Structures are given as structure tokens and as C-alpha cells.
Structure 1
Amino acid sequence: MEDHWAKIIEAVGEDLSRPGLRDTPKRAAKAFEFLTQGYGQSVEDVVNDALFPSDSDEMILVQNIELYSLCEHHLLPFIGKCHVAYIPTGKVLGLSKVARIVDVFARRLQIQESLTAQIAETVMAVTNAEGVGVIVEAQHMCMMMRGVAKQNSSMKTSAMLGSFRSDQKTREEFLSLLRM
């Protein structure tokens, strides 16, 4: 990857022998590996059996989980937050594991719509929940730094599964908790 970064830097007209760029291909490769580390992670390893028996059947909401991802179209960052709610059916997921699931998928090349769906489907599968709701709010550098250059634009996506899709009251409870 380091060689490819060197070629990209040279292709824009830069001189890799100047002091500020000598180690840039190596640093860029290391940074890109970190930004895409989700490819080397599995949900099973991240969850690591952190499912705990529980009698709770009320909504669990983890909100404002920060996320950093790269869009698959321009390889530019999108940055935002994720809100994940689920209604357990006998098992609850360790709190940090919800955030780790978000990171597994955020640290891959993709679009926000897919990211939102992947998080919801994974939480549903892992917890066997009655329902799952996920909302992602993000600002996309491909909209802000290039193209239309709209600095204050943001995108919101949602995925509602199970009772969050079929029961309007469950969906409304989720959305009202986010407004608090």
C-alpha cells in the first residue's frame, strides 16, 4: 500500500524527496489500514459472548455513538453519530459491544445507507431482539470539500426492524427518546 500512496503523491505533482513528504507514503498506508480495520474484524470476535441473561423487555437505547467512515465513491470521510435501540428478548448486549459493532462496519468503505442497515441487522441477529432501530446522522466530506461544497449539509438514515417497523408506538418511543 505504501508504494501505491507514493505513486498517488507523485501523480499530483509532488516531490517525495522533500522533507515533509519523505515518510508520508508509509504514514498514509498506516492511517488507511486503521481507517479500514473493520475488514479485519468479525462481529463474533467483537461481541465475544458479551450477551447476558436479562428479564428486561423495555427499550434499550445507546445514542450519540461517534463514527468515522469513508465513502466508497470518493474515499473521503463521513463523520457523525449513531443511535441504536433494541427491545431484548431474554438477553442484553454488553454496552460497549453496541459501539464496537458500529465501528466494525464504519471502518469499511461504504455508503451511509448500507452502514445503517448493517448495524441494525447485526444487532438484531446477535441479540435476537424483538426489534431494532438505528439512526445515523453524518456529514460527508464529499459534499463539503468538493462537488457542491455545502458546508452545513448532513444526512440522516434509519433502519427499523421487527417491532420498530411494525409497531408505530415503538417507533415513536424511539424517536421521542432521541429528542430528550
Structure 2
Amino acid sequence: MDAVLRTIGDSTPQTSLDQQSTQRPTREEAEAAARTLVMWTGDDIEREGLVETPKRMVKAFEDLFSGYREDPREHLERTFEEVGGYDDIVLLRDIAFTSFCEHHVLPFTGKAHIAYYPDGKVVGLSKLARVVDIYAKRLQTQENMTAQVIDTITEVLAPKGVALMIEAEHMCMAMRGIQKTGVSTITNRFTGVFKDPAEQARFMTLVRA
């Protein structure tokens, strides 16, 4: 797990856990660790409802953190140039996601809003949502996820500008500690033409419309 955490702050794509570290635990070791955690709660790991839980936990982790096994850049490589000269804003609102806080491994859920000005080419709309999903399915902070998503889109598509807003509720704040529910955390980042305050205002207006 330490090897995984060390890569989170790096925007370089991670393609697989096996490539990150030769010390990746086996499935059996992961299940044993899950078993230990369940026992640590004070429950009886041998009772009917829990005996298969370690296996289920590991299987769930495979899905919840599948983003480590994908390179988001690959999803942006195919573009389309037959856009009829369209050069105005392209906006995707309300891209739902669930990620996990790297500090407490508790979920945070929310929506991402992405806009870009194409420079002669566009990408399939689902591919932008895929980029969000891949980065969300890693241990994250919202700030880092914001940077990773926009940096990847900027690097691969090379548009005239990108705008990104992510708003989410963090269970590490709602379920533990201060235990305040319904609190939204908002992060933004702008590149290129979106450095212009007028373009930022237009983006915000379209997101909130």
C-alpha cells in the first residue's frame, strides 16, 4: 500500500500496481489483512455473515481502485476533426463520481464539470467522463484529482483552454471527526483562454444554469 500512496501525488499515469512495485501483496495476503481488520472491530470472523467478507472486500477493492490499472491518456488519443469549424465552448456538466480519501479510505462523492475550447479537433464526450472516472478510482485528495484531470486533458488534447470544477461531499468529514453532513467542497482550475475572468464567469454561469 505504501507504494500506491507514493504515486498519488504524481500526475504520471499509473498503468498497473504490478509495475509500481514488485512488493505488491498477493490476493491471499490481502484477504488475510482484511480478515485482521474485521477481527479488529471486535466481531467474530467465523460467524456466517462474515466468513466470506475478506474475499468480498478484496474483490470490491479491485473495482473501487481499478483506476490504477488504466492510463487515462489512452482514452483521449482518438479525436475528430470534422466539426464544421466549431470553435466555441464544449461543456460536460454533472459527471458523477465516487472516490476514496487517501487519508482515511472513506468515500467522497460528487460531480465534475469540464469545459474546453477545441483547437481544430474534439474528443468523444464519454472519454472526458472516463478520465474523471479513472482518476476517481484511486486513493485521492480532491485537490490532486482536480489537477490530474485537467493536466491530462490539456496535455493530450492541447485545446485553447480547459476549465474544471469539482464539487464533492467527503465522508471523512461527515462520518467521523466533526461529523458535519451536507458540506460541499469545491475545487476549480483553469488553463489557456479560461484564465480570462470573463471566460471563467461564462463557465460558471453555464455550470449553474
Same fold (TM over 0.5): yes
Cα distance in 1, alignment partners of residues 115 and 73 from structure 2: 20
RMSD: 1.0
Displacement of 1:26 in angstroms is 0.5
Displacement of 1:162 in angstroms is 1.2
* Paired residues of 1:87 and 1:130 also in contact (CA < 8 A): yes
TM-score (normalizing by structure 2): 0.82
- 1:154-177 deviations in Å (ceiling 9; x for gaps): 101011111112x12211111110
- 1:68-112 deviations in Å (ceiling 9; x for gaps): 000010000000000000000011010100100001100011100
Q: Which residue identity does 1:174 align to in structure 2?
A: F
Report whether the alignment pairs 1:158 with 2:188: yes
Q: Secondary structure at the match of 1:21?
A: coil
Displacement of 1:129 in angstroms is 0.6
> Which residue, 59, 73, 87 being the options, matches 1:30?
59
Report whether the alignment pairs 1:51 with 2:84: no
Structure 1 segments of 4+ aligned residues over 2 angstroms from their partners: 44-47
Task: Name the residue aligned to 1:87.
Answer: 117
Counterparts of 1:122-137 in structure 2, within 5 Å, are: 122-137=152-167
Report whether the alignment pairs 1:148 with 2:148: no
* Paired residues of 1:50 and 1:97 also in contact (CA < 8 A): no
Report whether the alignment pairs 1:41 with 2:65: no
Cα distance in 1, alignment partners of residues 208 and 73 from structure 2: 32
Displacement of 1:60 in angstroms is 0.4
Q: Secondary structure at the match of 2:133?
A: helix
Structure number with the higher strand fraction is 1
* Paired residues of 2:150 and 2:189 also in contact (CA < 8 A): yes
Number of residue-to-residue matches in the alignment: 178
Cα distance in 1, alignment partners of residues 73 and 173 from structure 2: 34
Cα distance in 2, alignment partners of residues 82 and 107 from structure 1: 14
Unmatched 5+ stretches in structure 1: none
Cα distance in 2, alignment partners of residues 79 and 52 from structure 1: 31
Q: What fraction of aligned residue pairs are identical, expressed as a percent? A: 43
Displacement of 1:45 in angstroms is 3.3
Unmatched 5+ stretches in structure 2: 1-29
Task: Name the residue aligned to 1:73.
Answer: 103
* Paired residues of 2:101 and 2:140 also in contact (CA < 8 A): yes
Q: Secondary structure at the match of 2:49?
A: helix
Cα distance in 1, alignment partners of residues 90 and 188 from structure 2: 17
